[in-house]
Amino acid sequence: MNASDPPSSSTEGAVCTLPDITRECWSRVLALLTTRLRNLQLAEDMLQNAVLTALETWPKRGVPDNPQSWLYRVAMNRAIDQLRRVQKHPTQPFDVTSENLVPTFSDNLTEYESGIPDERLRMIFTCCHPAIAPEAQMGLTLRTICGLSTGDIARAFLVTESTMAQRLVRVKRKIIHAGIPYEVPDADHLPERLEAVLAVIYLIFNEGYASSSGDRTIRTDLCEEALYLVGELAACLPDEPEVLGLQALMLLHDSRREARVAEDGRPIMLFDQDRSLWNTAKIQQGMHCLHLASQFQVSGVYQLQAAISAVHARAPEASRTHWPAIVALYAELYRLTPNAVVGLNYAQAMSYTRGPAEALRFIRSLPDFDALQNYQPYYAALADLYERLESLDEAISACTRAIELSKNSQEKHYLSDKLAVLTSKVAKH
Amino acid sequence: MQYMLLIYSDSSLGPVPGTEEFGKMIADYQEFTEEVKESGALVSGDALQDTTTATTVRAPAGGSVTMTDGPFAETKETLGGYYLLDCKDLDEALAYAAKIPTAAYGSIEVRPVMVFD
């Protein structure tokens, strides 16, 4: 058996594989260690060491009955030793191979023998603290809650591993030096802080779902991580309708994954998708989350977006989409968040109930219309509306601008094809 | 932990001295100062006279001491005052920063004070 094969327990036929233990274990043990040590970097380093020891010793000795507890105790003991050592010899490096592998016990630790309390809620609020920059929020959340390696996170965000490593080190330093607390916010601050957490999770999902740069249309790993995060958050906060709303929204988006990309990697628009490829299990899960959320009778932006997605999901074909329902939902969404991007999407839906001309008028009347001038989807929308109005020259010019602004090569291919079609239509006139 | 709350604003955006709005801002500042005093957070705090009264000193080694009229750099938002607060954590400091009257049209930079062991 080589080092990368997962170890298995020799007791009672139960099989524990290290990858399974590490993901769920990792985040829960890390969160608890951080709460106790008040130092995320130290907690992470010691846990990393404990996992390496587990990789060496569990194949030989068998997986412990309570792997989480074992990892916690070993990591905590090493942290205590490290702290003592630093006090005695500030310059001595920490050497894991000389450590006594049999964990020692102290009274403080026995309370955690039976079960590791779930401290991850504190951790996720800390990772998504507004004092931390968005890229660092995403990176830190993926590392500490999802247990992704720094390398995997770097690849997901198209940066080098050392860039991501530095980013994470800096943010962990800021948490200590600026005094960012490891706390779940109190009732007064919970709503806005929860909004920040949801925004981070949705950003992670969107990075995976529709990369604005790079050559692949979907990076599925990030979508899975975001779904995992929102699911764990929903379990910790079952009375928050917007958490369920976001979960519904992401499940519904994700249900279309197989239909969204052609074999050659080109994106397929919603109207052209083969709906038989939509994942009905995910759609049902999404609808269920939406139903649970609706019982709280508190509207919110994620629930509304999910409801819009749900209307699409219910239509067996694009031509049977219930547009009036979508328009009504967008009206409410625009009322809650009256910005140009939402306005643009509202207008596109409106074009199916009131016609493309009315939609164009609405867009031009938006108070922050100027904000759309360099917004790629705006030109893609214009191209579509003008085409439907048979204003082919305007459609071509909008399509050209959409191609210029696009940073995704697959999207550019799609738009170039569209441009070719438009140009040939003009040629025929 | 001690935090410095640095109050920056574009002076052309704030209330004009002598107006009712200015009087209200002064009253709001007095209320804020009372609040942080009462909670025990206040270490110190002051308004600074405007940047036209500033002088910038540089004394590079091997060079001569230079003094220039004005702030260290010409910026649109300038430093108008500060509070030094003793807070439980960053969240507490940030909550206070949001209540500072100038935050309505300016920026409050919140930075922890260096602790030397």
Nearest to A178 among B88, B90, B95 (CB): B90
Single-letter amino acid, residue A226: A
Question: Would you call A181 and B112 a contact, using CB atoms and an 8 Å cutoff?
Answer: no
- Write out pLDDT tens, residues B28-84: 999 999 999 999 999 999 999 989 999 999 999 998 999 999 999 989 999 999 999
CB of A238 within 8 Å of any CB in chain B? no
Name every chain A residue with its beta carbon within 8 A of the beta carbon of B91. 180-181, 183, 185, 189
- Say what the pLDDT of residue A263 is: 77
Q: Is A24 on the interface with B (CB under 8 A)?
A: no
Q: Is the dihedral of CA A181, A187, A189, A195 positive or negative?
A: positive
pLDDT value at residue B45:
96
pLDDT band at A110 (very low <50, low <70, confident <90, very high): very low
Percent of chain A at pLDDT > 90 equals: 56
Distance from A193 to chain B by nearest Cα, in Å? 11
- Of A13-22, A29-38, A237-246, which range is least confident? A13-22
Candidates A38, A125, A180: best to mutate against B (most CBs of B within 10 A) is: A180
Shortest alpha-carbon distance between residue B106 and chain A (Å): 18
**Is the per-residue pLDDT at A266 higher than 70?**
yes
Which pLDDT score is estimated for A269?
83
Q: Please indicate whether residue A254 or residue A209 has the higher confidence score (pLDDT).
A: A254
> pLDDT band at A86, cuts 50/70/90?
confident
Tell me, what amino acid is at A108? N
A75 vs A263, which has greater pLDDT?
Answer: A75
- pLDDT band at residue A299 under the 50/70/90 scheme: very high
* Average pLDDT, rounded, for chain A: 84
Contacts of A255 (CB under 8 A, 6+ apart): A278, A279, A280, A282, A283, A286, A313
A5/A246 Cα distance (integer angstroms): 36
Per-residue pLDDT, A262: 79
In this complex, do B90 and A183 lie within 8 Å of one another by their Cβ atoms?
no
Which of B90, B94, B96, B113 to mutate: most A Cβ within 10 Å? B90
Any B CB within 8 A of A134 CB: no
pLDDT at A152: 85
Q: Check if the beta carbon of residue A20 is closer than 8 Å to that of residue A152.
A: no
A90 contacts chain B (CB < 8 A): no
Asked if B90 and A179 come within 8 Å (Cβ–Cβ), the reply is: yes
Reported pTM: 0.81
Residues A124-134: tens digit of each pLDDT: 999 999 999 99
CA angle A219–A206–A128, rounded 5-degree value: 115
Chain-chain contact of A178 with B94 (C-beta, under 8 angstroms): no
Mean pLDDT of chain B: 94
What pLDDT does A151 receive? 87
Of A249, A227, A31, residue with least CA distance to A122: A31
Mean pLDDT for the stretch of residues A298-316? 95
Q: Could you tell me which residue, A154 or A358, shows the higher pLDDT?
A: A358
The ipTM estimated for the assembled molecules is 0.83
A-chain CB neighbours of B3 within 8 Å are 179
**Minimal C-alpha gap between B58 and chain A (Å):** 29
| pLDDT band (50, 70, 90) for residue A93 | very low
Whether A111 shows a pLDDT value over 50: the answer reads no
CB contact under 8 A, B91 and A178: no
Band (pLDDT 50/70/90 cuts) for residue A187 is confident
Q: Which comes out higher in pLDDT, residue A128 or A269? A: A128
Handedness of CA A276, A286, A342, A354 (dihedral sign): positive
Whether residues B91 and A189 touch (CB distance < 8 A) is answered with: yes
> pLDDT tens digits for A221-261?
788 899 999 998 998 899 999 999 999 999 999 999 888 88
- For residue A378, what are its two tokens? 């705006």
Nearest to A408 by CA among A245, A210, A260, A236: A210
pLDDT value at A12 more than 60: no
In chain A, positions 159-218, which contact chain B (CB-CB < 8 Å)? 177-181, 183, 185, 189
pLDDT for A398 equals 95
Distance between CA A15 and CA B64 in Å, rounded? 75
Given a cut of 50, whether residue A385 has pLDDT beyond it is yes
Residue A219 pLDDT greater than 80, yes or no: no
Q: Reduce the secondary structure of B21-65 to three states and give it as a string.
A: HHHHHHHHHHHHHHHHHHCCCEEEEEECCCHHHCEEEECCCCCCC
CB half-sphere exposure, A408, CA atoms < 13 A: 19
Q: Check CB contact under 8 Å for A178 and B112.
A: yes
Interface test with B, best of A177, A188, A193 (most B CBs within 10 A): A177
Q: Among A358, A297, A283, A298, which Cα is nearest to A327's?
A: A358
Distance from CA of A181 to the nearest CA of B (A): 6
